[in-house]
A and B are shown apart, each in its own frame.
Chain A
Amino acid sequence: KAGVTQTPRYLIKTRGQQVTLSCSPISGHRSVSWYQQTPGQGLQFLFEYFSETQRNKGNFPGRFSGRQFSNSRSEMNVSTLELGDSALYLCASSSGQPTNYGYTFGSGTRLTVV
């Protein structure tokens, strides 16, 4: 079956702009989580959506937001971009059930802010 698809793969934006990233989870998965990866901070949890509702949130400023559609596809938005937002943004999908099976990650979107 198809994996987790993230678009675009690469993005260059200017400081102050906003950006929207997209994630299509594995078919049938209702949970989508977003992570930011930087060399200095490693992988950090942004937020998770399940059935169109945000279920959990990490410690990021309000400039980072997301949403999930009825087909489980998710978008995350970063407004007023800062140089420090340059990172690899990863999404992960799962069935969302309270089990402990693994999450499937996409290959990420590499965002560069100049």
Chain B
Amino acid sequence: DAKTTQPNSMESNEEEPVHLPCNHSTISGTDYIHWYRQLPSQGPEYVIHGLTSNVNNRMASLAIAEDRKSSTLILHRATLRDAAVYYCILRGFYNQGGKLIFGQGTELSVKP
């Protein structure tokens, strides 16, 4: 699975939108882009995933660049509960083995 690059940390104000970037310049055509987050003292939590088109769900939106070499996780209105480490992970379509390769992620802090 290809590698991703994320900023180590980001800050946001409560109730403002947050854009978390991820670079994956070596992505292959069959790699899906997954995002997980890990709140303090908890296991990672699935947020969203996509292949080519932008995706929305109740937690967030995922914007994928046209060349797929980067993506952005968008939290529309940050709350204090969104403070967590966010991981961007590439997962090959044929990866049936449950192996997720986590990088260092982006630690998001949210100020009231």
Residues of A whose CB lies within 8 Å of any CB of B are 4, 31-33, 35, 42-45, 48, 50, 55-56, 58, 90, 92, 94, 96-98, 100-108
In the assembled complex, which residues on chain B have CB atoms less than 8 Å from the CB atom of A58? 99
Contact in complex: B93, A45 (CB < 8 Å): no
CA distance in complex: A103, B32 (Å): 14
Q: Is the interface of A mostly helix, strand, loop or mixed?
A: strand
A-side contacts of B43, CB under 8 Å: 4, 90, 92, 105-108
Q: Does B11 make an interface contact (CB < 8 A)? A: no
> Nearest chain A CB to B44's CB is how many angstroms away?
5
User: Does B29 sit within 8 A of A, measured CB to CB?
Assistant: no
Nearest-CB distance from A79 to chain B (Å)?
Answer: 23
**Would B42 and A43 count as touching, CB distance under 8 A?**
no
* B interface: dominant SS: loop
CB distance from B29 to the nearest CB of A (A): 14
On chain B, the number of residues with a Cβ less than 8 Å from chain A's Cβ atoms is 26
- 8 Å CB interface, B74-112 against A: 87, 91, 93-94, 96-105
Are B44 and A50 within 8 A (Cβ)? no
In whole angstroms, how far apart are the Cα atoms of A56 and B103 in the complex?
19
Asked if B45 is an interface residue, CB under 8 A from chain A, the answer is yes
Q: How far is B87's CA from A33's CA once the two chains are assembled, in angstroms? A: 18
Known: A42-B104, A98-B93, A98-B94. A104 touches B46 (CB 8 A): yes
Q: Is the CB of A45 within 8 A of B99?
A: yes
Contact with A along B44-61 (1 / 0, CB 8 A): 111101010000000000
Which residues of chain B have C-beta atoms less than 8 A from A97's C-beta?
A: 96
What CA separation (Å) do A90 and B87 show in the bound complex? Answer: 16
Q: A48 near B49 (CB under 8 angstroms)? A: no
Q: A55 near B46 (CB under 8 angstroms)?
A: no
8 Å CB contact of A100 from B34, B47, B99: B34
Closest-CB distance, B77 to chain A (whole angstroms): 22
